[in-house]
Chains A and B, each alone.
Chain A
Amino acid sequence: MAKVFPPKIVSANDLMDGDVVYLTAQNTWSRQITEAVIAPDEAAAEILLAKGEERQDLIVGAYLLDVAIGDDGAPSPTHFREKYRLNGPSIDYLAPQKQSFVAQSNTQTTLSEGA
């Protein structure tokens, strides 16, 4: 049986802030995966990747990733690494900050702002 080609999209990181971005049908980069253009077969995937690599002044490291197509036609990544990339760190990384902010206002420390 011929191997089924999983549909693919192109992703990269934004040059300026590193945000995860996806290549759109308009040849722009979007932070919304729902706007990503989908390559149904290998030939289309190669063309998409080449397009993605054109704008080196906007992004870093374009590459192809496998997606599944939902009932609404939107792509979603199949590999867990891409899921974490899409959704951000899986941990509540800002949580301790809020907690210590409360503690700080209780103790009324006044400190210089650094230089």
Chain B
Amino acid sequence: MYRYNDFDHEFVKSRTEEFRSQVARRIDGSLTEDEFKPLRLRNGLYLQLHAYMLRVAVPYGTLNSAQMQQLAYIAERWDKGYGHFTTRQNIQYNWPKLADIPDILDALAQVEMHAIQTSGNCIRNVTSDHFAGAAADEIEDPRPTAELLRQWSTDHPEFQYLPRKFKIAITGSPNDRAVTRAHDIGLRMVRNEAGEAGYEVMVGGGLGRTPMVGKTVRDFLPKADLLPYLEAILQVYNLHGRRDNKYKARIKILVHETGLDPLKADIEAAFQSIRKTFVHPKAELIAGLDAAFAPPEFNNTRSLAFEDAQAANPAFRAFVETNVAEHKNPAYGIVTISLKPVGGAPGDATAEQMRLVAELAELYGHDEIRVSHEQNLILPHVRQSDIPLVYQRLLEAGLATANIGLISDIIACPGMDYCALATARSIPIAQDIATHFEARGLEREIGHMKIKISGCINACGHHHVGHIGILGLERKGQELYQITLGGDGRENMAVGERAGPGFSADALMDALDRLINAYLTVREHDEEAFIDTYKRLGAAPFLAALYPEEADDARAA
């Protein structure tokens, strides 16, 4: 794991000190809210409906157990005993008090964490594959590159006043688990014909009110060219990105308005000139980053405990089926800890639960924890023969929900239960769906399914890439839920298509029931996932199920 150097420590410390004095000046009245707001946002502090919210960066989703312990401590000491893990691989505290924020930031700095660049028009926390460093399908661990990008972008003078926020995601696997095509820049590791590792570079993806699929500007970029090339993209964006209209300021609009080929030419031209004078990071720095993310020393001794436990305990077998993924070391498994207990708020974890995860990581997981954009936690390196013990402990803490990738593993943004921008609630919808399909006993039969819910057009809940996406809106003083179908967040990303008129919260569950029933009827076989059935048949059978009256009318006509 990457450890802060003196520069990092000093930088975070000075930022915390600076913010401490800014908070003090806001409290004593010498700063107005208009003056203070941009300062607090630069430090991850938002105001929501009922309280402040502090957004803490978890760079590329990687935590060690001491950091998780500290997150638990902060939740208990300064919040209401829980935190919310988000689609940006961050953790948000929902109830901190203004006067306590500097102390919280100090507590974070003690474990090499902070809330810098979690907000504002800068390069945000770089997100990554949550299985990074462990996945069987990985070409290389993307985190040394992600850390390099963090260092390069943090406080970079040219990138503090971009036209708009800027998000980078990176995956080291050909199978994209980091939704890279939905980011301003997406990087996907690939090999060229010579077998060298490099990046496919995608630009202009994004969700929000104008969802767009990132377009490939380079099929293969050698690793060594990455920084000058990204600098070229940012230079083009900084020069030509629109600053006149907030809604048109993201790079996706520039890509769209300029057209891919002219933009590619601009980037290449900028790249050719930048690379001439570009000062590459020193070889020691790169080697240091590679060493910081070197795999742990695996213990390859095996027993039959894993197999025996599966044979003896059907509940454990079910857990393994959904929550344990293939590790690159055959003696190991990747354990996903679901933060989606049926009926709970997706992504919430209590201080006790965080402590347990920290303890399990320390005892059985080489001290490593990951946060996924799907709002779950991961123990990336667990020896298979230890997984039964880990499962037992998770079970006792209410953390062994065996639903990863199933219909109740829902992404939901905070929505109107917390968020000041929301037009409708999203968490209760997620709770209702999970509870409903659990009660119908259909979860395993439905199989692989991604439902994603946002409480407004900003799309923080990724609804555009949900197999079933749900967007909460307001109409005539009531919450209204619009369904999109066929979204897909993987390497072949697709934006879901709007099905038709929205549903009231009351009518939504029946509509989803009809939709799921239709899928179970028309799928080719039990293994065909909803998204595959949708791709094979198109929207028609699903629209007929969602809007039966219209289908009847059409038949009558």
Q: Which of A78-115 contact B (CB under 8 A)?
A: 78-81, 84-85, 88-91, 93-97, 99-101, 103-104, 106-107, 109, 111-115
Across the interface, do B52 and A18 meet the contact criterion of CB distance under 8 Å? yes
Across the interface, do A94 and B49 meet the contact criterion of CB distance under 8 Å? no
Across the interface, do B396 and A106 meet the contact criterion of CB distance under 8 Å? yes
In angstroms, Cα B478 to Cα A78, docked, is 11
In angstroms, Cα B479 to Cα A80, docked, is 8
Residue on B with the closest CB to A78?
B477
For residue A15, CB closer than 8 A to chain B, the reply is yes
Q: Say whether, besides A97-B352, A115-B110, A91 and B49 are in contact (CB < 8 Å).
A: no
Across the interface, do B348 and A93 meet the contact criterion of CB distance under 8 Å? yes
For residue A47, CB closer than 8 A to chain B, the reply is no
Q: B52 to chain A: closest CB distance in Å?
A: 5
Residue on A with the closest CB to B416?
A84
Q: Which of B41-100 contact A (CB under 8 A)?
A: 47-52, 69-70, 72-74, 80-82, 94-95, 97-99
Interface string of B395-419 (1 = CB under 8 A from A): 0111100000000000000001110
In angstroms, Cα B276 to Cα A104, docked, is 59
27 A-B residue pairings within 8 Å (CB atoms):
A15-B27, A16-B27, A16-B97, A17-B51, A57-B27, A57-B28, A60-B47, A79-B477, A80-B474, A80-B478, A84-B417, A85-B50, A88-B50, A89-B50, A90-B425, A90-B428, A93-B82, A93-B345, A93-B348, A94-B80, A107-B393, A109-B359, A111-B355, A114-B69, A114-B72, A114-B107, A115-B70
Residue on B with the closest CB to A107?
B396
Across the interface, do B29 and A57 meet the contact criterion of CB distance under 8 Å? yes
Identify the interface centre among A84, A88, A100: most chain B CB within 10 Å of its CB.
Answer: A100
- Set of chain B residues within 8 Å of A115, measured between Cβ atoms: 70, 73, 107, 110-111
Residue on A with the closest CB to B72?
A114
- Set of chain A residues within 8 Å of B70, measured between Cβ atoms: 114-115
For residue A33, CB closer than 8 A to chain B, the reply is no
Q: Say whether, besides A16-B98, A56-B29, A97-B352, A113 and B51 are in contact (CB < 8 Å).
A: no
Across the interface, do A19 and B355 meet the contact criterion of CB distance under 8 Å? no
For residue A20, CB closer than 8 A to chain B, the reply is yes
Across the interface, do A109 and B477 meet the contact criterion of CB distance under 8 Å? no
In angstroms, Cα B29 to Cα A3, docked, is 40
Q: B30 to chain A: closest CB distance in Å?
A: 9
Q: Which of A1-47 contact B (CB under 8 A)?
A: 13, 15-20
In angstroms, Cα B72 to Cα A99, docked, is 16
Contact partner, B33, options A56, A91, A96, Cβ 8 Å: A56
Contact partner, B348, options A57, A96, A104, Cβ 8 Å: A96
For residue B353, CB closer than 8 A to chain A, the reply is yes
Q: B321 to chain A: closest CB distance in Å?
A: 23
Contact partner, A112, options B28, B69, B94, B418, Cβ 8 Å: B69
For residue B32, CB closer than 8 A to chain A, the reply is yes
Q: Which of A48-80 contact B (CB under 8 A)?
A: 56-57, 60-61, 78-80
In angstroms, Cα B359 to Cα A83, docked, is 41
- Set of chain A residues within 8 Å of B341, measured between Cβ atoms: 96
| Count class of interface residues, chain B | 35 or more
In angstroms, Cα B359 to Cα A81, docked, is 40
Interface of B is mostly: mixed
Across the interface, do B416 and A81 meet the contact criterion of CB distance under 8 Å? yes
> Total A-B pairs in contact (CB under 8 Å)?
129
- Set of chain B residues within 8 Å of A17, measured between Cβ atoms: 51-52, 97-98
Across the interface, do B417 and A89 meet the contact criterion of CB distance under 8 Å? yes
For residue B322, CB closer than 8 A to chain A, the reply is no
In angstroms, Cα B41 to Cα A99, docked, is 34
Residue on A with the closest CB to B348?
A96
7 nearest A-B residue pairs (beta carbon):
A114-B73, A57-B29, A18-B51, A89-B417, A97-B350, A18-B52, A103-B397
For residue B431, CB closer than 8 A to chain A, the reply is yes
Q: A65 to chain B: closest CB distance in Å?
A: 13
For residue B427, CB closer than 8 A to chain A, the reply is yes
Q: A71 to chain B: closest CB distance in Å?
A: 22
Across the interface, do A18 and B50 meet the contact criterion of CB distance under 8 Å? yes
Identify the interface centre among A78, A79, A115: most chain B CB within 10 Å of its CB.
Answer: A115
- Set of chain B residues within 8 Å of A97, measured between Cβ atoms: 81-82, 350-352
Q: B37 to chain A: closest CB distance in Å?
A: 8
Contact partner, B47, options A18, A91, A100, A113, Cβ 8 Å: A18
- Set of chain B residues within 8 Å of A96, measured between Cβ atoms: 82, 341, 344-345, 348, 350, 353, 398
Contact partner, B418, options A60, A89, A100, A114, Cβ 8 Å: A89
For residue B264, CB closer than 8 A to chain A, the reply is no
Across the interface, do B69 and A91 meet the contact criterion of CB distance under 8 Å? no
Residue on B with the closest CB to A84?
B416
- Set of chain B residues within 8 Å of A90, measured between Cβ atoms: 416-417, 425, 428
Q: Which of B325-361 contact A (CB under 8 A)?
A: 341, 344-345, 348, 350-353, 355-356, 358-359
In angstroms, Cα B207 to Cα A40, docked, is 42
Across the interface, do B98 and A80 meet the contact criterion of CB distance under 8 Å? no
For residue B26, CB closer than 8 A to chain A, the reply is yes
Interface string of B433-476 (1 = CB under 8 A from A): 00000000000000000000000000000000000000000100
- Set of chain A residues within 8 Å of B97, measured between Cβ atoms: 16-18
Known A13-B50, A113-B73; 14 more pairs at CB < 8 Å: A15-B26, A15-B27, A17-B52, A17-B98, A57-B28, A80-B478, A89-B50, A93-B80, A93-B82, A100-B399, A103-B398, A107-B396, A114-B74, A114-B107
Contact partner, A56, options B32, B73, B428, Cβ 8 Å: B32
Residue on B with the closest CB to A93?
B345
Across the interface, do B98 and A13 meet the contact criterion of CB distance under 8 Å? no
In angstroms, Cα B417 to Cα A88, docked, is 7
In angstroms, Cα B397 to Cα A91, docked, is 21
Q: Which of B345-382 contact A (CB under 8 A)?
A: 345, 348, 350-353, 355-356, 358-359
Across the interface, do A13 and B47 meet the contact criterion of CB distance under 8 Å? yes
In angstroms, Cα B64 to Cα A114, docked, is 13
Across the interface, do A85 and B49 meet the contact criterion of CB distance under 8 Å? yes
Q: B322 to chain A: closest CB distance in Å?
A: 20
Across the interface, do A93 and B417 meet the contact criterion of CB distance under 8 Å? yes
In angstroms, Cα B351 to Cα A104, docked, is 11
